[in-house]
């Protein structure tokens, strides 16, 4: 069985991990990274806007973002505007689809399937929403997905709300979906859920849907041990 190397990065700034995932994706494209990878991280508060983001969907002014300590990035992923922050598990799968199925729509459905499976471990009845990307429960959105690929190697990924402060989503129209209600695993279950447990469940669910053997590896092994951003 092929491998999925999983790296837990802890709580880190968005900008440094953006550059790290781009570097790892370049290594995967070049054949210098032997295995598919999954970077798991929490971010300090940040708003990101994808390729199709509409300016009107970020309702907060720059002054309000600054007052709440929220950074802002425009990035190459698909999708509109979203938020990342502590208590949210963000995953960046760097997967060579040439070794799986060369179809980004298939890939998005696989990510959704992995998240739905992982949420089942906490008896959260998660599902897709027809015509929209992401994962919902009881009509509320619990996970967002936005990806990018070059030469069939993916980066960017998913954000699963575990215990994140949902008030940050009031700064925007999340994912550009009017009327969407965001939720979290802790809000749905009314109990504390360790993010480390969710990380383990999601990594193994992702391994299952892509038929990959999950291996935890240290950050220092990325890019053949070269100095990665910290």
47 pLDDT more than 90: yes
Does the domain at residues 3-223 carry the CATH identifier 1.10.1200.10? no
> Cα separation of 93 and 5, whole Å?
10
Give the total residue count for the chain: 230
17 pLDDT more than 60: yes
Q: Please give the positions annotated as active site.
A: 175
pLDDT confidence of residue 223? 77
Q: For the residues 104-129, what does the mean pLDDT come to?
A: 98
Q: Which of 74, 8, 88, 75 is nearest to 43 (CA)?
A: 88
> Cα separation of 113 and 58, whole Å?
29
At 149-202, the pLDDT tens digits run 999 999 999 999 999 999 999 999 999 998 999 999 999 999 999 999 999 999
230 pLDDT more than 80: no
Domain ranges in the chain are 3-223
Task: Note the pTM of the prediction, 2 decimals.
Answer: 0.95
What sign for the dihedral angle of Cα 47, 51, 55, 57? negative
Residue of higher predicted confidence among 221 and 19: 19
Tokens encoding 116:
């739905």
26 pLDDT more than 50: yes
Residue 134 φ/ψ region, left for φ over 0, alpha for ψ in the -120 to 50 degree band, beta for the rest: left
Residue 143 in contact with residue 102, Cβ under 8 Å?
Answer: no
């Amino acid at each position: 069985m092929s491998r999925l190397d999983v790296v837990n990065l802890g709580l880190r700034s968005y900008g440094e991990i953006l550059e790290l995932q781009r570097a790892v994706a370049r290594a995967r494209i070049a054949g210098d990274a032997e295995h598919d990878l999954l970077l798991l991280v929490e971010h300090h508060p940040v708003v990101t806007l994808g390729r199709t983001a509409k300016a009107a969907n970020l309702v907060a002014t720059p002054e309000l973002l600054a007052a709440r300590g929220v950074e802002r990035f425009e990035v190459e992923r698909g999708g509109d505007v979203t938020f990342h922050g502590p208590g949210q598990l963000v995953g960046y799968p760097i997967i060579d689809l040439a070794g799986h199925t060369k179809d980004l729509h298939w890939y998005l459905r696989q990510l959704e399937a992995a998240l739905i499976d992982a949420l089942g471990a906490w008896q959260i009845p998660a599902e897709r929403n027809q015509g929209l990307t992401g994962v919902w429960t009881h009509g509320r959105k619990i996970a967002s997905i936005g990806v990018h690929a070059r030469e069939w190697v993916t980066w960017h990924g998913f954000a699963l709300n575990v215990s994140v402060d949902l008030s940050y989503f009031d700064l925007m129209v999340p994912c550009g979906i009017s009327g969407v209600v965001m939720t979290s695993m802790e809000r749905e279950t009314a109990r504390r859920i360790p993010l480390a447990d969710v990380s383990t469940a999601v990594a193994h669910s992702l391994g299952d849907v892509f038929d990959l053997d999950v291996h935890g590896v240290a950050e220092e092994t990325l890019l053949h041990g070269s100095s990665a951003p910290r």
